[in-house]
Structures are given as C-alpha cells and as structure tokens.
C-alpha cells in the first residue's frame, strides 16, 4: 500500500501501517441495512482482536479514494523502478502469504530488485505477485522464475 499511497497522493485511510490491508465492498438492496451489518461486523472483529483497525467509507468520495489505493498499486510499482515482473497466480489461501514471504527471502540481496508486493482476492486465492526491479535482466529472471514455478508446482501437489 505504501507505493500506491506515495504515488497517488491519497491520504492513508488509517493512522498506522499494517502488514495486511483488506478492502471489502458490499452491495445489496438496502444500503442502510447493509452498512449497519458491515459496521456491526467491523466492531465485532475489532473487539475480538481479529483485526487491528478499520475504516468504513461514509461517502462515494471516500469509497473512490479507498479503491484508488488498491487500483493504483500497479501504476505505483511501475514508477518505483524500471519495471515489474508480474505473476497472476492461484494459490490456496493457507499458502498465500507463505508465497509472499518465501519470495522475499529468496530474492533478498539480489541486485536490482526493489520490492516484492502482493495483492489479490482472498475469496478465490488469486494473488498478483509483483517484483519491482531497477530494470529487467536475464539474471533476475534466472533467480525468480525457475524458483517460483517450482514453488507453485510443489504446493499444487500437497
């Protein structure tokens, strides 16, 4: 989220920065009823310590601002360096963050890699894995791609 915020100029929706950010949008036939149910849910997960913080859009402008952060990730990463290796992967939810952490560990210290960023859809296990780089190089591809494909193959057979 930091890349998107820095690039877009949108103010952070929360005071603190967190390892994970979740954007939920609902739609139904009764806006007031739906908002009340979502507010109740947000309060419940805050009280139970499932989440650390949360915010609800109270206007169309706020809703668009929240979505602009999510939708701005790709563009922001493109401006972070000279390119982005992008992978659109289906991974079981239980392995979604493992892939992120293991990718970060695998490429740590590799010359030319700026950041590893993931975002996606937890409902269907879709992960947009992005590796921002200074420039595209065969050396980075050799470090990244065989390893990533093998990781996915190994998880698929578990």
d(CA 47, CA 41): 10
d(CA 2, CA 97): 18
Structurally, the chain folds into a number of domains equal to 2
- Please give the full DSSP string across 62-104, using - where no structure is assigned: HHHHHHHHHHTHHHHHHHHSSEEEEEEEE--HHHHHHHHHHHH
Same domain, 65 and 6: yes
DSSP letter, residue 11: P
pLDDT at 157 over 80: no
Same domain, 85 and 146: yes
Same domain, 90 and 144: yes
Q: Is residue 148 part of a domain?
A: yes
d(CA 66, CA 69): 5
pLDDT in tens, 53-81: 999 988 899 999 998 988 888 889 988 88
- Which CATH number characterizes residue 132's domain? 3.30.70.2740
d(CA 33, CA 35): 6
Q: Which residue range is the domain that position 91 belongs to?
A: 81-156
Whether the Cβ atoms of residue 118 and residue 128 lie closer than 8 Å to each other: yes
pLDDT in tens, 18-45: 888 888 888 889 988 988 999 999 999 9
**Predicted pLDDT at 158:** 66
Q: Is residue 53 part of a domain?
A: yes
As a whole number, mean pLDDT of residues 130-157 equals: 93
Indicate the pLDDT class of residue 112, thresholds 50, 70 and 90: very high
What predicted TM-score, i.e. pTM, was given to this entire model?
Answer: 0.84
Whether the Cβ atoms of residue 87 and residue 128 lie closer than 8 Å to each other: yes
Whether the Cβ atoms of residue 34 and residue 28 lie closer than 8 Å to each other: yes
């Amino acid at each position: 989220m930091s890349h998107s915020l820095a690039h877009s100029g949108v103010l952070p929706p929360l005071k603190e920065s967190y390892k994970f950010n979740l954007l939920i949008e609902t739609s139904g036939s009764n806006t007031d009823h739906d908002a009340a149910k979502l507010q109740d849910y947000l309060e419940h997960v805050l009280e139970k310590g499932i989440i650390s913080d949360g915010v609800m859009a109270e206007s169309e402008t706020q809703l668009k601002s929240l979505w602009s952060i999510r939708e701005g990730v790709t563009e922001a990463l493109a401006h972070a360096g000279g390119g982005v290796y992008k992978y659109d992967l289906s991974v079981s939810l239980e392995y979604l963050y493992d892939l992120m952490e293991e990718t970060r560990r695998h490429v740590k210290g590799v010359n030319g890699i700026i950041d590893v960023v993931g975002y996606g859809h937890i409902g269907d296990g879709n992960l947009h894995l992005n590796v921002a780089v200074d420039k595209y190089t065969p050396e980075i591809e050799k470090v990244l791609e065989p390893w990533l494909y093998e990781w996915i193959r190994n998880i698929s057979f578990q």
